Amino acid sequence: MGRTYFGTDGIRGRANGRKLNAAIAMKVGQAAGRHFLRGAHKHRVVIGKDTRLSGYMMENALVAGFTSVGMDVIMTGPLPTPAVALLTREMRADIGVMISASHNPYEDNGIKLFGPDGFKLSDEDEEAIEAAMAVEQPLAEGDAIGRARRIEDARGRYIHAVKQSLPEDVRLDGLKIVVDCANGAAYNVTPTAIWELGAEVVAMGVEPNGLNINDGVGSTALDAIQQRVVDEGADLGIALDGDADRLIVIDEKGQKVDGDQIMALIGSRWAKDGKLRGGGVVATVMSNLGLERFLAGEGLELVRTKVGDRYVLEAMKAGGYNVGGEQSGHMILLDHATTGDGTVAALQVLAALVRSGKPASEMLHLFDPVPQLLKNVRYEGGDPLEAPSVQKVIAAANGELDGKGRLVIRKSGTEPLIRVMAEGDDEAQVNRLVDEICAAVEAAA
């Protein structure tokens, strides 16, 4: 069936817009609640959020929806997405909800759903919930109506959990780390966890006001942390996004280290330590060809999926892998978390830094990326990729690359954008092909 609400990562859109408002959030709560009313036990849902102003509205609407169909609600307040997944499983909840639009600006918001196992929902579950949103749901009556309560120790529980992911023989004493929390969900927990492990922490992006999430800070706005790392003489910078499921690292020289290099580091280190399962790493079609070549040189496989960390996770579970992620910084380490966790991934990088004794710029540069270019083309409606003129240009580009590179063209799952990516050993050719395809898409849009 077609999807009206759910995209590649739950529901996302402009807060109080057509796709996402209080009325729709209440419908999500009712539909998802009814979908997970299974068994005779008392049912409960864990709801967390990031720091957006609209989070209050969305939280209250979801609480109304869930309680109206008979589910008890546990609210955590601002907390990273992986913490909600963790608490859903630990508290034996039937469903978990994270209210966040991740790296988007504050005007947007979103709803991410987790099953009782702490994993994101399958396409089938999301389709069933979306179908249920289109019809009126049976409401609970009398004493079957749900209750709601807020727990005060959610942050402490998550801090304790992420610290357990650091090997017991590793201390962070002597390290100076800049931690940028994007004025988002991790503004309290991540600096605290890293400080408790012994590091000197320089925190930034830790003054949320409801309107400044991802605004000039965080994993999608790196200028500030790159300069801060250099100015502070720090050993490393850690940049998270608004809901802290994504990580970008900055080395001591102020250089960006993306998810591909982080996966190369963790995958190869875990392989040497006998901890890597599946014989390789899972990533998406957007990961650089250089990562694939590096892993092959280590005797490891790179398994590619379509874009979206949930699809990475599905492939990991199906193939028995425990390391996966995205170039954009989602790192899924199934030994420690059921979804992308920027803080857990950062601690693995810090452990490698301590054990290697090398500067971050050396330790985190394991391969030279193949020239790669990604551009986005906004469109208003229709499907520009179906236009014969666009298909002709794409076919010609594929013919030119012919084994010397890759072309990935897709619609964004969260915004009205066509994403055009090419990579290959000839940078000039890559740039030209991307520009030609983008021009064709713009003309057809």
Active site residues: 102
Measured distance CA(127)–CA(122) in Å, rounded: 9
Neighbours of 250 (CB within 10 A): 26
* Rg (alpha carbons) of the chain, rounded to whole number: 22
Give the distance, in angstroms, between the CA of residue 129 and the centroid of all CA atoms in the same chain.
22
Residue 52 contacts residue 210 (beta carbons within 8 Å): yes
Joined tokens for residue 374: 């990604």
Residues making up the chain, counted from first to last? 445
Give the H or E element holding residue 407: strand 405-411
What type of residue sits at position 148?
A: A
Residue 333 contacts residue 266 (beta carbons within 8 Å): yes
Residue 69 contacts residue 48 (beta carbons within 8 Å): no
Neighbours of 179 (CB within 10 A): 28
Region of 325 please: left (phi>0), alpha (psi -120 to 50) or beta. Answer: left
**Exposed (0-12), middle (13-18) or buried (19+): which is 435, by Cβ within 10 Å?**
middle
Angle at 346 between CA 118 and CA 297, to 5 degrees: 100
Give the H or E element holding residue 417: strand 417-424
Residue 165 contacts residue 322 (beta carbons within 8 Å): no
Angle at 128 between CA 125 and CA 131, to 5 degrees: 150
Residue 199 contacts residue 177 (beta carbons within 8 Å): yes
Residue 205 contacts residue 383 (beta carbons within 8 Å): no
Residue 58 contacts residue 25 (beta carbons within 8 Å): yes
3-state secondary structure of 209: coil
Measured distance CA(24)–CA(238) in Å, rounded: 35
